[in-house]
């Protein structure tokens, strides 16, 4: 269920024609406009509908990443902020290997994700869990992100000790 007024101030953009209208408010899935350009929603010459997207009026997005264990302080999440224009960025998160603390090690690490947007005027919104989505894990296998969490089996990433013969 989409909350009412969630899309206030967002833009409905026709990517084919690069025309847009600003959303006044929404009630669930219905969008309402104070002013509307009739060229925003059209059917193209080949009979197909133009590609439409909703664009938020935000400059930045901030991600919060929590690890269940195997890190310096599991109660302190990682925070990463990036511009919405650079949506495809990578950040590093440190997860300790067993060699760091062999007595208190758990190979199963739960990673929890949340994000929030920062409006153009500097207003911060609360953190929300990420939606259910498909993603490719580090093994190039397709997984589903559900409940904004996924698990990493660190046993697969523990470095192998090379046995050397020094005789």
Distance CA 160, CA 157 (A): 9
pLDDT band at 156 (very low <50, low <70, confident <90, very high): confident
Distance CA 86, CA 122 (A): 18
Q: What does pTM read for this prediction?
A: 0.63
Distance CA 151, CA 115 (A): 18
pLDDT digits (tens, 9 = 90+) for 24-62: 999 988 999 998 888 888 776 777 777 888 888 888 888
Query: What's residue 30's pLDDT?
Result: 92
Query: What's residue 25's pLDDT?
Result: 94
pLDDT digits (tens, 9 = 90+) for 95-139: 887 777 778 788 888 989 998 888 777 788 888 887 777 878 778
Distance CA 57, CA 25 (A): 13
């Amino acid at each position: 269920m989409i909350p009412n007024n969630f899309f206030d101030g967002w833009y409905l953009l026709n990517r084919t024609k690069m025309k847009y209208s600003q959303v006044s408010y929404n009630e669930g899935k219905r969008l309402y406009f104070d002013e509307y350009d009739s060229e925003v929603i059209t059917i193209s010459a080949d009979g197909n509908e133009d590609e439409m997207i909703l664009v938020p009026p935000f400059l930045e997005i901030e991600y919060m990443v929590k690890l269940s264990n195997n890190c310096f302080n599991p109660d302190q999440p990682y925070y990463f902020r990036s511009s919405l224009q650079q949506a495809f960025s990578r950040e590093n998160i440190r997860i300790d290997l067993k060699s760091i603390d062999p007595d208190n090690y758990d190979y199963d690490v739960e990673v929890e994700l949340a994000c929030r947007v920062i409006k153009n005027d500097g207003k911060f919104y609360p953190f929300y869990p990420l939606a259910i989505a498909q993603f490719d894990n580090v093994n190039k296998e397709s997984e589903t992100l559900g409940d904004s969490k996924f698990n990493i089996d660190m046993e697969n990433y523990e470095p192998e000790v090379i046995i050397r013969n020094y005789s």
